[in-house]
Chains A and B, each alone.
Chain A
Amino acid sequence: MEIVVDNLVQVFGEAPNDVLALDRVSHRFPSQRFTCILGPSGCGKSTLAQIVGGIEPFTSGTVTVGAAGGAAQPLGTHSVMMWQHLNLFPWRSVIDNVAFGLEVQGVAKAERYERARVLIAMVGLRGFEAHRPPQLSGGMRQRVALARALIMERPILLMDEPFGALDAQTKIVMQEELVRITEQTNKTVLFVTHAIDEAILLGDEIVVMTARPGRIKEVIKVDLPRPRSQEMVNTPEFGRLYDRALHLIREEVLNAMRQQEEVAG
């Protein structure tokens, strides 16, 4: 499902202490494609994802999800978020976390458990249905969060740096799993990250954002063949993309540091 963001502006706080977080952001996120939003921390990339997901209200501009001219529905109807801090419910078992979305819709227990088991198997957690999140490792918790989002069967998956806290090995495995699952399920994915290699390995395109106020600096097409794997890191194509993204990001990180020095000084 296509997402069109047009002239989106987000201002936090009240004048004169207001902060311009997003400045006239316009982009067409293609349907059933994996788009990575890459930028230095504080550039508003999470804010963009939250606005698209209907989680945060925005100041001005338009966000259109789905075919133009279709019935207008509130943002968030077609998308589900996988959060940076996962936000799993620690008092619920894995299966009750995964089935939460169905539970609040009033789906009967037998049916929602059946559907949750399918998703739990899909993310490779069979046998852990009765565990609670605090009993699981970081990578396993990621899988629970992914299953909890996928059970909603919404065409758009928003991901806000979900793998940021993982160790390098677990991260590689989770990235590969994510690609496998999103390709299988034909999702439109918006994946927020600050890691360049992650953006290249996962994305069909990379939207590079500027330091605050967040603008779109450049859109990089990633034409690496799929299925992608970690070995591609050593190919010249990967290196070329990496250099391009690094160059853009470096500028922005330096900008951000300069801004902070001005504030501090």
Chain B
Amino acid sequence: MGTTGTKHKSKAGAIVYIVVPYLLIVAVVLAWEIMVRVKGVQPIFLPAPSAIFKYLVVMIADGEIAYHLSITFLRIMAGFLVAAATGILVGIAMGMSRLVARMVDPWIAALYPLPKISLIPLLIIWLGTGEAYKIVISAVTAFFPVAIATFASIRQVDSGLMKAAKDLGANVRQVQLKVVIPAALPGIFSGLQLGMGVTIIMVVAAEMIGGSSDSGMGYLLIHAGQVMETEKVFGALIVLAVFGAVITNAQKRIDRMIAPWTEREH
């Protein structure tokens, strides 16, 4: 008992463990509210949580959030799917062929450290400011972590497992399909999680770039900011934070469903 952080000697300890983090959130929000009211801070600079909450309720009730969030979500999914498919494919090709790895590696080494946001002017020249540009910029950004993680996890597959499969009669193709790829799956998933993170960032950023959009959470944020509706800015930020947490959580659940053996290996 009590060897890890989640096990406690008493029931009271367990309750404290669960409740205290929430109490902290309540305390911060309360302090914020009191500070704004006592000091009389201008809502343009820092609105009170209660005011933000009222705005948020209105934004949800009149469908504004649903509209922008669903559009942003679709763009994220489109960019992510393109990045996941190409990244996994390229990573697997690199992991299984030394020649491909040698060919692709210098490109990745050169392009990966480049801040992808700096490609935005070029992409707008080539693709305009429509959907294609937003999907391409997010897909290009997410491609790298996915490809690199896939490549690395294939390379790191325990050679003992491959030897064992070969000893049991598997041919080269069977070793790759039945051993290398399943063994690399957990690593590929962590690449996908990184990829999803940057996709969200890049889609919202792309939506914010000057007049490139009239929809999406990025547009909502930048537009509310321009007209000094600070409550709306906060409302949109809260929605984005919750949205990001939901997506990350869903991804972890899917990983655990598909690769459940990774949990107990340590």
Q: Which residue of A55, A87, A100, A132 is within 8 Å of B158 (Cβ)?
A: A87
A80 in contact (CB, < 8 A): yes
A138 in contact (CB, < 8 A): no
CA distance A103 to B167 in the complex (A): 13
B14 in contact (CB, < 8 A): no
The chain B residue with its CB closest to the CB of A152 is: B168
A57 in contact (CB, < 8 A): no
Stretch in contact with the other chain, from B48-56, B92-100, B258-266: B258-266
Q: Which residue of B160, B170, B259 is within 8 Å of A91 (Cβ)?
A: B259
CA distance A76 to B169 in the complex (A): 9
Total interface residues on B, CB under 8 Å, equals 23
Bitwise, B233-266 to A at CB < 8 A (1) or not (0) is 0000000000000000000000000011100110
Bitwise, B166-185 to A at CB < 8 A (1) or not (0) is 11111100100011001101
Q: Chain B residues near A81: list those with CB within 8 A.
A: 164, 167
Are A104 and B163 within 8 A (Cβ)? Answer: no
Are B261 and A91 within 8 A (Cβ)? Answer: yes
Are B168 and A132 within 8 A (Cβ)? Answer: no
CA distance A76 to B166 in the complex (A): 10
Q: A87-B161, A89-B161, A89-B182 are in contact. Are A104 and B261 (CB under 8 A)?
A: no
Q: A89-B161, A91-B185 are in contact. Are A152 and B169 (CB under 8 A)?
A: yes
A61 in contact (CB, < 8 A): no
Bitwise, A34-66 to B at CB < 8 A (1) or not (0) is 000000000000000000010100000000000
A191 in contact (CB, < 8 A): no
Q: Chain A residues near B183: list those with CB within 8 A.
A: 89, 91
Q: Chain B residues near A103: list those with CB within 8 A.
A: 178
Are A80 and B185 within 8 A (Cβ)? Answer: no
The chain A residue with its CB closest to the CB of B160 is: A87
A30 in contact (CB, < 8 A): no
Q: A55, A81, A91, A152 — which one has the most chain B CB atoms within 10 A of its CB?
A: A91
Are B167 and A132 within 8 A (Cβ)? Answer: no
Are A90 and B265 within 8 A (Cβ)? Answer: yes
A101 in contact (CB, < 8 A): yes
The chain B residue with its CB closest to the CB of A92 is: B182
Are A100 and B182 within 8 A (Cβ)? Answer: no
Are B164 and A83 within 8 A (Cβ)? Answer: yes
B224 in contact (CB, < 8 A): no
Q: Which residue of A83, A89, A133, A135 is within 8 Å of B179 (Cβ)?
A: A89
Are B265 and A134 within 8 A (Cβ)? Answer: yes
B163–chain A nearest beta-carbon distance, Å: 6
CA distance A79 to B265 in the complex (A): 30
Q: Chain A residues near B264: list those with CB within 8 A.
A: 134-135
The chain B residue with its CB closest to the CB of A87 is: B164
CA distance A212 to B21 in the complex (A): 60
Are B167 and A76 within 8 A (Cβ)? Answer: yes
Q: Chain A residues near B169: list those with CB within 8 A.
A: 101, 104-105, 152
Q: Chain B residues near A101: list those with CB within 8 A.
A: 168-169
Q: A104-B170, A104-B174, A148-B168 are in contact. Are A91 and B182 (CB under 8 A)?
A: yes
Bitwise, A216-244 to B at CB < 8 A (1) or not (0) is 00000000000000000000000000000
Q: B167, B171, B178 — which one has the most chain A CB atoms within 10 A of its CB?
A: B167
Are B167 and A55 within 8 A (Cβ)? Answer: yes
A85 in contact (CB, < 8 A): yes
The chain B residue with its CB closest to the CB of A93 is: B261
CA distance A105 to B185 in the complex (A): 24
Are A85 and B160 within 8 A (Cβ)? Answer: yes
12 contacts between A and B (CB under 8 A): A53-B167, A76-B167, A83-B164, A85-B160, A87-B160, A87-B161, A91-B183, A92-B182, A100-B178, A103-B178, A105-B169, A132-B260
Q: Which residues of A pack against B, CB within 8 Å?
A: 53, 55, 76, 80-81, 83, 85, 87, 89-92, 100-101, 103-105, 132-135, 148, 152
Given A83-B160, A87-B164, 18 other A-B contacts at CB below 8 A?
Answer: A53-B167, A55-B163, A80-B168, A81-B167, A83-B163, A87-B160, A89-B165, A89-B182, A91-B261, A100-B168, A101-B168, A103-B178, A104-B165, A104-B169, A104-B171, A133-B261, A135-B264, A152-B169
- Nearest first, the 7 closest Cβ-Cβ pairs linking A and B are A87-B164, A101-B168, A134-B264, A104-B170, A87-B160, A90-B261, A91-B182
